[in-house]
Each structure stands twice: as structure tokens, then as C-alpha cells.
Structure 1
Amino acid sequence: MTDLLLIDTIGPFFRGYDRRVINWSKIPWDYAGRQGGAWWETVCRELNVIARQAVSWGFNAASIDDVAHLADHAWIEPEVRRRIARYRSEMRNCFQVLARAGLAVHVTMDVFSATPGLLKRLALEQMKVNDYLVGLLDQFLMDFPDVAGVIVRIGESDGKDVHDDFRSQLVIKTPADAREMLQSLLPVFEKHGKRLIFRTWTVGAYPIGDLMWHRDTFAETFKGITSPNLVVSMKYGETDFFRYLPLNRNFFRTPLAKIVELQTRREYEGCGEYPSFVGWLYERYARELKQAQNVIGCMVWCQTGGWVPFRRLAFIDPEALWNDLNTYVTIRVVKEGVLVEDAVRSFAKERRLGDADALLELLRLSDECVRELLYVEEFAQQKLFFRRVRIPPVLTVYWGNIFVSHSIRKLLRYFVRDADGALRSAQRCMDNLARMKGLAERAGVPVADIDYMHDTFQLLALAREYYFADDAVEIEERIAAAKQAYKAKYNKRGLRARYRVKTDFKPLLLNPRHLGWAVQFLMRRQRGYRMVDRLIILSALSLIYRVIAARRPHWIPGFASKSAMGVDVVFR
């Protein structure tokens, strides 16, 4: 197989999608299915812009949604089949646009997505999901011969906000399940000469939930599989697209073809509303990956991911400069081994920006601000696991939300010993931001984005004071005032999407010593499972959570229970 350099192309399908917070994980099929010819013409026109720019930068393949809404089957409800027929017709045009530009089309698929009627028929016929998928994918690849491959996700299903004719569910629960599925499906892809790209991303559910980082689960899943049509796709770290993560060691544990997943529209770092540069981070990963066997490319997510209000779309929105810059630098670094500094200068020249050296200095300062103020460095550097997931290295910012609460204050004070250092780094970052405005003017990039970053990170700096300074009451008043000013400034319709600042200063009535005991019991600093994990955390805790969810649902924060798949998935 040749190098596989994938770019996602989901953005145009959200044009006109009027929701404050958008689930950027997949195309909103119900919305797209209601649109007329003019809307689809716009989609094709924007896909053409994306594809031609992507090819000129070095990409050779595209990902696009999704098999469930494109594969017809007699067991699907008649009304849904009529909508699928229309969708197939429109998407053929989209595929042709991508292919004509030089991108090999790869279609995403969740295992397993189905309608209520289809689920009933499968139960009635006592047909296994794998057997159904074999027939479905065989026909799909015959119906769409120009499709180069399918990207399979087994470890995450639709979010709670998805209300579709199709609903995905987690049916692959063990490494044996995953291996059996691969052994069933790979002959179909070998027959058609197509790629099956298998993503190891999971959210911690069931015994397969540690696939992305646990060496034994990984080895058991791919044991005995040697197909040249299989590509294993892994995120660069042991959890989602965060910083402070070592390169995933599973890249070094199989001779199978592999690609690394990289995100240039940073869903946990503002989605391109301000500069969150990844060049130096990805340069390090690319250098390390040279030592791994059979790494054939990358999958770059420049538009997909997260539940956020931010709307800047790489390649097709002029204001998406920071996402474009990240994407350009990433492909140049990964594909050609170009130095980050040279790639930035080349991008500045291509976009006819100003002083490239000023841009590089701005990126260095903003990189420091993100690493040290959006994250709390001492906490982020700690390796922590709960059940089958690695704890994210950021506690205070999640998607489009900034959290300032007494419970987070307690946790951070437990994990962070150098409180003075944390406060000093926050002040240094605010000094950086003061310098960045002048650099932005010299570099010819939007000064308004730096102003927005300054105002947002000023809230983070105030939160840092609340976490680590002593006079909490006085800081609470300043945070409340800053929150209202921020909301008033950035809540004007049509101006820009903003972060939501969620404050809760109600004291957490938990003795620090007892908090320490709870943390040491529930979390571990090693990848391997302790005896207490095997006996209690992985088993009994699931039952305890279900009891709490049923009898005391108000104990579970609304954000945790309603966003994405809901926190309950971690306890499966």
C-alpha cells in the first residue's frame, strides 16, 4: 500500500445548522436529508475547495460520513430506505468531487448502527451482527466501487443528543469480539481490494475499553491477523487529543500497517478561535514514529470532533486561519519531515501574511499559554488512570466550558504541590498575551483573535487564583464580575461563539485527608491494574454507579450525564 494521508471533510454539511452547541462527530443526517438542491450544490462546491487545497498540501485521501446512512438493506423501514436512496444520490456527487481532485474516499462506520425495525428483524432472524455486516459491506462496496476503504469505530457510539433513524450502540465488548469481527470482515475487503481502517479509540466501556493503551488487550485483538488490507488507526496518546501525553506505545507492538490520528482543530483548546499551535508537539511525535515499523501515514481531523459552539471550518472559512495553519504544518512535518519553523514561514508566504518571524514568536508564546494556563502543568504531567481510561490532563476546561468550582479547587490542591509556581506561570502567560497583540499586527493575523484569547485566558488566570491563592471570597467576587463582562461582550448574536463559564463556589464538605484516601483508592498511577481494581473498581463499582444513577440521579452532574455518551459509559 502507498502512504495514506487522510483529511476529514465533514464541515460543509453543517452549513445552516442552527444550534448553539453542535455535535461535530458526524454529519447531522436528519438535517442534511431535509435540504434542497441549492444546499447540496454548496456542499459540493465547498468540498471541491477543501479537496483541491488538501491535495496541493500533500493529502491523498479523505474521510467522510457514513456507511449506515448510505448502505441500503431490505430490512430497513421503507420510509428510511426512501431517504437513504436520495442521500446516496447526493453523496455520489460528493464522492466524485473528492475523487476528481485526487483524494481516495474512505467512509466512516460505527459498529453497530441500526434502526429499530432492523434490530427487531435481526433478533427475529437470529442473525449475528457480524454476518449482517458481511453482507451489508459486500453490497456497499459493489454499489460504491470508487470508495477506497471504510473507517471502522467500535469504541464510541452516538452521543445523547443524536436523535436519528439510526442509533449506534457498542456491541464489541471484548478483544475476542473485535478479532472475530475483523476475521469476518477482512475477506470482504480483500475480495474488493479495499482498505479496512480499524480505529483503536475507545471511551473505556467493557473489557475492550482499554484497547488504545493496554498492551495485552491490543495483542489479543490483533492476534493472528495478517491481512494487507487492514490498517490500524491510533490516536497519538493514550486518551483523547490532549497535550502532555507520551506517544502511544502500541505503535511499536505490531507489524500491521498503522496510521496516527492527529487533530488540528483542537476540540479541547478552542477549535481555532485563538492560536493553539500543534507544530512542535506533532514534530516530536513524527520523529519518534520513525522508529516504529510499518507506519504508513496519518489521519488529520481538521473539522471533526467535540460538542462545541465554535464554527470555524478549515479550508473554507477565512477566519479559520489557525486551523489551516495547524493542518498545513502538520502534513508538511509528517509527510516531508520539514522543520516547523520552515513550514510556518512557507504558510505565511502562501497566505501572504506579514512578518513570519513575528508569527513564529506569537506561536511560541501562545503555545506556552495553552500548555501552562489552559492546562495546569503540574497536574497535566501526572499519569493517572481510573478503571479503563487515562484521566484527561486538563480539569478546568472541557469543550466549550470553563469550570470554576470548589470541588476542582480541592482536587487541584491535592495534586499540585507547587501552588506558587502555578500562580507565577499564569501571570507569565498573561504577560505573553499582552505581547502577542503587537506581534499579531506585525504578522498580519487577526488581532481580534488575540483579544478574544486574552479575555478568555484572563478568566483562566482568575480561576487559577481561586484554586491556589488563599482569599477565595474576594476572588469569587472578581470571577463573578469577569464572567458577566465576558458574557456581555461575547454573547452578541452573530459576533462569535463563546465559552460558557460554569461557577460553583459551594464548599465541598470533604476532609482533605478523606479526599486523598478516595483518590488513592479510585485512581492509580500505573497502567496495569491493581488487585483493588480487579476486585472492586472494575466490577462492584459498576453496580454501585447503576444504583446511584437510578436512586440518586441528582448526585451526577448534568454536564457529565448529558454530554456526549454520558459518564455512565465509563462504568460499563
Structure 2
Amino acid sequence: MPNTEQLYLIDAIGPFFRGYDKRTINWSKLPWENLCMEGPEREAQWTEIRRELDVFCDKVAKLGFNAVSLDDVTHLADDVHYELETRALIVQWRTEFKKCFEVAKRHGLQVFITMDVFNATPAVREHLRDTRRSVESFLAELLDRFFTDFPELAGVIIRIGEADGRDVKDHFLSELHLRNSSEANRFLRALLPVFGKHQRKLVFRTWTVGAYQIGDLIWHRGTFAQVLRGVENHPSLIVSMKYGDSDFFRFLPLNENFFHHPVAKIVELQTRREYEGCGEYPSFVGWEYERYARELLQAKNMVGINVWCQTGGWVPFRRRAFLEDSAVWTDLNTHVTIRLFKEGQLVEDAVREFALQRGCDNWRALLELLRLSDEVINELLYVKEFAQQNFFFRRVRVPPMLQVYWNNIFISHSVKKMLGHFVEDKPSSLRAAQRALDSLEQMKSLAAEAGMPVHDIEFMADTFGILALAREYCLTPFTEDVETRLRAAKKAYKVKYPKSGDRHRYRIKMNFKPFWLRYRQLAWAVAVLMRRKGGYRLVDRLFTLHGLSLIYRVIARRRPQWIPAFARDSAMGVDTIFK
């Protein structure tokens, strides 16, 4: 039975980060440790959260969204097996969140709550272990009570392929529970009757980070079909998929699973681009998303979109969508996105509408600014020749961005060798970087004409100037001069954007020490470990998927210094993709 009601969903977590002063923020979930639950500060904080949530809901409802998402079931669903302290906190969280749900409902917005599988406390894990009770049975009963307690909720958004980052310190800690398609299928069969009983929606996210057999769910048609076998027509089920085979990057074709399976689907879109500055400068998605919207007209049983305007990334950048004037670039992306997918507008019409609503008569200057920004990001934030190539490693599609990760810019001999291997037309790539720098100068004038923040373009130009120098270092023979210029540029960048200022900068990580792997060895390693298509080769089944995991565990135990600290400690850690 196809779903006919269209869902236009957007995350509403921004108000909960007000005043959160941690230097690097984990934007993947609410900062529960920052929510005050006692004393006079509690009422003041939660009153302000509800005030900002009211502002946010008013704006997104007027844009055309009909639902918001908030975190999360685990902190709001009570169970007798939780620790007494945790149960007392749950009572308080429920009291405050009920008031938040009322705010959203006043604006005609449905409310969906997120949930990781599996997220629990030590006491619950001990109970399940001692009684040999399944996680599915526990969650089915938990959700049954949860829906009874919160009849105002429209459903739950379930994530099975990513767990809490290593920085999370909470009463609840999530872990990857489902390891293969059969387990995921049993999980859906166990929970969907509960959703059907209460007439709620189970929004099942296919996002995975490559761990275990189910790590290829996001792109592998066989795994996708096996997980949904026998439940694809359930009226309570909606599958939520990122638009591509990887995370929210450019240069990705639409995920083919949109076109080959009849299950009800929504497409995930990110308007606060976590890998492209997080709204600190214009990273316009309009023309890319317009193409996706047009192609998805041919997809089977599309029932809406799922927009992330705040969620995603471990970064110091903290502009909050629809709550601060500084978030104008994210607000613009979100405005254009809903117009493209709900109204079928052209990008140019949506940009014009946004500009006029802000009192900007010169919308053509804004449109030209966005066109140039689009080109600059494609040519300089990404290395286009590398980004246009398609590579898979184990169960993940290799990201098309090699040198920048969140707010980190990596300039090292190892990156130089990698880019030197993948980029054949080095002169063209160097010329593209120079053209991008020229465009950035033109963008400053256009921003002034359009009444947009010129200082954001200046920050973009300063950051991308370092990327252009890094491109020169990576794609030309090494000289001491380029190293000197890079070090000077980094120093000037840190002086202009100090840690204590209100402008959070990129971290520039330099290491000019020669990389031990030779070019011939690198070419051999790439040929063995990486493939051009998603399908697994014999070498993958015999070595890459299994033997490599063992090798990695040995290295991690005996030579941990070989694994960069950033890769070990950020998010879930690089070891996740070797599970």
C-alpha cells in the first residue's frame, strides 16, 4: 500500500545548542549534558529553548515544512530496568519536551523523534544479558509504552548504521547492534507491528559508516532488498536515504535504490553543509538539488524530503539556522531546497524570492554570487579530477573530498602523493585553483551589491587561499619556497582568526615529513584495495573485507602510532570501517 501523504521534514535541534560553549561541537545529537534540570537555571534555560523553538517552527512552517525532528527516544522513554537516577532524569526530560512538542504542534508541525539502535544504560544491558532477552523485544515494549505516553508524536526516525562518537559522555551510550541484513529484517518485522498498532511512522535511515556486513546498506541493492524483504509495503514504513552513495558531498550521482524498489522513500538533503563550511560562507546547493529533484520525478513511491539544517559534523562552527542573522547561507539553502522539491520552482525564482523577502532588490547580484561560489567550491574545495572519479574501499564509497574534512585542512607529503597519483592533468587543476581565487575577489563586490555579509566572503577567500597554496604544493615538485609560503599563510590566518575571537577558523594540519610509501607501492595498494564499482571483486571477498580487518587490529594494538590521532579519535574512529 503506497504512502500518499507527503512529508517535508526538517531537524529542529538548533535551540538546544544556545550557549553551548564547547570548542568543538558534536552536532550529531543534542548536548544533553548542557541541559539544566535543576535549580532556577532550569526554568530560564528551557523558557529560552521554547522561545527559540517557537521562532524556528514559525519560520519553517511558513516555508512549507510540515514536520520537525528532535532527539531522542532513549532519553524520553522510561523503563523499570534503568538506574533510579536515570529514571528520575527521564521524568524531568519528558516534562520539558512535552512543552516543546506543544510548541511545534501550535504551528501545525508533526513531531518525529530520533533513535539509535541500540542505545541503553549498563543496567539495561545487564538485564538483557541475564535474561537472554532480545533487543528487538525490549525495544518493541519500550516503543509501545512510548507511543501511549506521547500520542502527539507522529513517529520515530531510526538510525542503525552509526553510533555515538567517542566524545560522547552520557547516561546512555549507543552501539552498532545490527550487523547483517537478516538481523535488520527481523528488527523491522518486530517493530513495525507496534508502529501499525499506534498508527505512527517508522522512518528507517539507510545511512551506514561501513561497519559489518550491513555497512553497505546505503548503496548495495542486494543488501537493501534483503533488509526490506516482506515489509516493503507496510503502511507505517518510510525509508530515508541520503541522495548519494556516501555522505553529504558533491559529485555524487543519485542513489540507484531510489529507482529500483517500491518502498515509500524520502530523500535526505543537507542545507548546513558540514563538509563545506557549515554555513560560514556560501556553499550553495541549489543547482545540484534542482538536478536531483528533477531526476527523482522518475523514482518509485517518493513521499517527501528529510532536510538537515543543523545536524551533522564535529566542528567549532556554530551558526544556527533560522535563529541568527549570521546563518543566512543555511537559511538560503533551506529556502531554495523546499521550493525546489515542494513547489517545483526553478533555482533562479527561489533565489529571487528569498532576496526580496530579505529586502534585497539586487537579487541578480546574489544569483551571480551563488553561481561563482558554486564554481569555487567545485574547483578548489574539491579537487575536481579526483572528485569525479568513483572509488569504493571495503563497504564504503570513498568520499570525493580528499584534503578537507569538517574544519580540518590536511597539507602533508602523504596527501601530496595521493593527489599526485589520482590527478593526471595537473596544469588544469592548478589553473582552476587560480581562477577560483579570481572569482572570490569578484564575489566580495557582489556580496556588497546584494547586501550579503562581505566578511563571510573574506573568510572564504582567506581559507581557500591556503587551499590554493596546498594545491601548488601537492601538484608541483617540492621546493622550500612553497613550504615557507604555506607556513607564513598559516601563521597569518591564525593571527587574523584567533581562537578567542567570534570567528571560528579551519585547523590547518601540516606535515612535510616524507611519506614512507613510494609511488609504485601506492599505485599497487590503490589497485588492490580500491575498486571503481560497488560490486565486490574476488580480492575483496578473500582479503579486503576480512584479512584487512585482522591486519588493522594487529596494527592498532602493536603500532597505534601508525594511525593518525585524528583518525583514531574523531567521530566513531576509523576502526569502525574495519569491522
TM-score range, shorter chain: over 0.9
Give yes or no for contact 1:48–1:97 (8 Å, CA) kept in 2.
Answer: yes
CA separation in 1, counterparts of 2:6 and 2:198? 19
Q: Which of 107, 111, 115 pairs up with 1:109?
A: 115
Deviation at 1:121, TM superposition (A): 1.0
Q: Which of 469, 474, 479 pairs up with 2:486?
A: 479
Equivalent position of 2:7 in the other structure: 4
Equivalent position of 2:510 in the other structure: 503
Matched, 1:206 2:212: yes
Q: Which of 404, 426, 429 pairs up with 2:411?
A: 404
Matches within 5 A, 1:400-479: 400-479=407-486
Deviation at 1:36, TM superposition (A): 1.0
CA separation in 2, counterparts of 1:547 and 1:3? 49
Deviation at 1:118, TM superposition (A): 1.0
Matched, 1:346 2:353: yes
CA separation in 2, counterparts of 1:469 and 1:436? 28
Matches within 5 A, 1:17-56: 17-34=20-37, 36-56=42-62
What do residues 420-446 of structure 1 show as CA deviations (whole Å, max 9, x unaligned)?
A: 011000000000001011101110000
Equivalent position of 2:572 in the other structure: 565
What do residues 145-171 of structure 1 show as CA deviations (whole Å, max 9, x unaligned)?
A: 000000000000000000111000001
Q: Which moved more, 1:503-512 or 1:390-399?
A: 503-512
Give yes or no for contact 1:441–1:447 (8 Å, CA) kept in 2.
Answer: yes
Matches within 5 A, 1:519-530: 519-530=526-537
Give yes or no for contact 2:386–2:400 (8 Å, CA) kept in 1.
Answer: yes
Give yes or no for contact 1:13–1:43 (8 Å, CA) kept in 2.
Answer: yes
Q: Which of 228, 245, 253 pairs up with 2:252?
A: 245
What do residues 197-252 of structure 1 show as CA deviations (whole Å, max 9, x unaligned)?
A: 00000000000000010111011111111201100000000000000000000001
Deviation at 1:473, TM superposition (A): 2.0
CA separation in 2, counterparts of 1:511 and 1:388? 26
Give yes or no for contact 2:430–2:472 (8 Å, CA) kept in 1.
Answer: yes
CA separation in 1, counterparts of 2:517 and 2:305? 45
Deviation at 1:472, TM superposition (A): 3.3
CA separation in 1, counterparts of 2:191 and 2:576? 26
Matched, 1:177 2:180: no
The runs of 5 or more residues in structure 2 that have no matched partner are none
Deviation at 1:327, TM superposition (A): 0.2
Deviation at 1:293, TM superposition (A): 1.2
CA separation in 2, counterparts of 1:33 and 1:130? 32
CA separation in 2, counterparts of 1:32 and 1:410? 46
Matches within 5 A, 1:277-356: 277-356=284-363
Matches within 5 A, 1:230-269: 230-269=237-276
Matches within 5 A, 1:124-139: 124-139=130-145
Q: Which of 119, 124, 129 pairs up with 1:118?
A: 124
Opposite residue 56 of structure 2, the aligned amino acid is I
Aligned-partner SS, 2:154: strand
Equivalent position of 2:166 in the other structure: 160
Deviation at 1:352, TM superposition (A): 1.1
Opposite residue 198 of structure 1, the aligned amino acid is F
Give yes or no for contact 2:376–2:439 (8 Å, CA) kept in 1.
Answer: yes
CA separation in 2, counterparts of 1:497 and 1:237? 29
TM-score (norm 2): 0.98
Equivalent position of 1:385 in the other structure: 392
Aligned-partner SS, 1:261: strand
CA separation in 2, counterparts of 1:510 and 1:93? 58
Give yes or no for contact 1:354–1:442 (8 Å, CA) kept in 2.
Answer: no
Deviation at 1:253, TM superposition (A): 1.8
Deviation at 1:108, TM superposition (A): 0.1
Aligned-partner SS, 1:36: helix
Deviation at 1:99, TM superposition (A): 1.0
CA separation in 2, counterparts of 1:558 and 1:203? 19
Aligned-partner SS, 1:320: helix
Cα 1:177/1:217, change in 2 over 3 Å: same
CA separation in 1, counterparts of 2:300 and 2:429? 40
Q: Which of 548, 551, 555 pairs up with 2:558?
A: 551
What do residues 473-494 of structure 1 show as CA deviations (whole Å, max 9, x unaligned)?
A: 2111101000011011111523
Opposite residue 471 of structure 2, the aligned amino acid is R
Cα 1:492/1:115, change in 2 over 3 Å: closer
Deviation at 1:353, TM superposition (A): 2.2
Opposite residue 14 of structure 1, the aligned amino acid is F
CA separation in 2, counterparts of 1:492 and 1:188? 49
Give yes or no for contact 1:33–1:87 (8 Å, CA) kept in 2.
Answer: no
CA separation in 1, counterparts of 2:26 and 2:518? 38
CA separation in 2, counterparts of 1:62 and 1:255? 25
Matches within 5 A, 1:143-158: 143-158=149-164
CA separation in 1, counterparts of 2:491 and 2:91? 49
CA separation in 2, counterparts of 1:511 and 1:405? 15
Matched, 1:85 2:88: no
Aligned-partner SS, 1:414: helix
Equivalent position of 1:538 in the other structure: 545
Aligned-partner SS, 1:68: helix
Give yes or no for contact 1:378–1:416 (8 Å, CA) kept in 2.
Answer: yes
Deviation at 1:280, TM superposition (A): 0.3
Give yes or no for contact 1:204–1:569 (8 Å, CA) kept in 2.
Answer: yes
CA separation in 1, counterparts of 2:122 and 2:485? 51
Deviation at 1:354, TM superposition (A): 4.2
Give yes or no for contact 2:36–2:45 (8 Å, CA) kept in 1.
Answer: no
Give yes or no for contact 1:113–1:166 (8 Å, CA) kept in 2.
Answer: yes
What do residues 493-515 of structure 1 show as CA deviations (whole Å, max 9, x unaligned)?
A: 23211111001111112221111
- Sequence identity of aligned pairs in percent? 60
Q: Which of 18, 22, 29 pairs up with 1:15?
A: 18
Aligned-partner SS, 1:502: strand
What do residues 270-324 of structure 1 show as CA deviations (whole Å, max 9, x unaligned)?
A: 0000000000000000000000111010000001100000000110011000000
What do residues 43-80 of structure 1 show as CA deviations (whole Å, max 9, x unaligned)?
A: 10111111110010100000100000000000000001
CA separation in 2, counterparts of 1:554 and 1:492? 28
Q: Which runs of 4+ in 1 moved over 3 A?
A: none
CA separation in 2, counterparts of 1:471 and 1:216? 46
CA separation in 1, counterparts of 2:100 and 2:7? 20
Deviation at 1:31, TM superposition (A): 1.6
CA separation in 2, counterparts of 1:184 and 1:324? 39
Opposite residue 60 of structure 1, the aligned amino acid is N
Opposite residue 173 of structure 1, the aligned amino acid is R
Give yes or no for contact 1:354–1:444 (8 Å, CA) kept in 2.
Answer: no
CA separation in 2, counterparts of 1:509 and 1:119? 44
TM-score (norm 1): 0.99
Opposite residue 148 of structure 2, the aligned amino acid is M
CA separation in 2, counterparts of 1:345 and 1:218? 40
Aligned-partner SS, 2:326: coil
Give yes or no for contact 1:8–1:302 (8 Å, CA) kept in 2.
Answer: yes
Cα RMSD (Å)? 0.8
Aligned-partner SS, 1:366: helix
Equivalent position of 1:64 in the other structure: 70
Opposite residue 27 of structure 1, the aligned amino acid is L
Cα 1:241/1:74, change in 2 over 3 Å: same
Give yes or no for contact 1:33–1:83 (8 Å, CA) kept in 2.
Answer: no
Q: How many residues align?
A: 572
Aligned-partner SS, 1:290: helix
Give yes or no for contact 1:386–1:522 (8 Å, CA) kept in 2.
Answer: yes
Aligned-partner SS, 1:234: strand
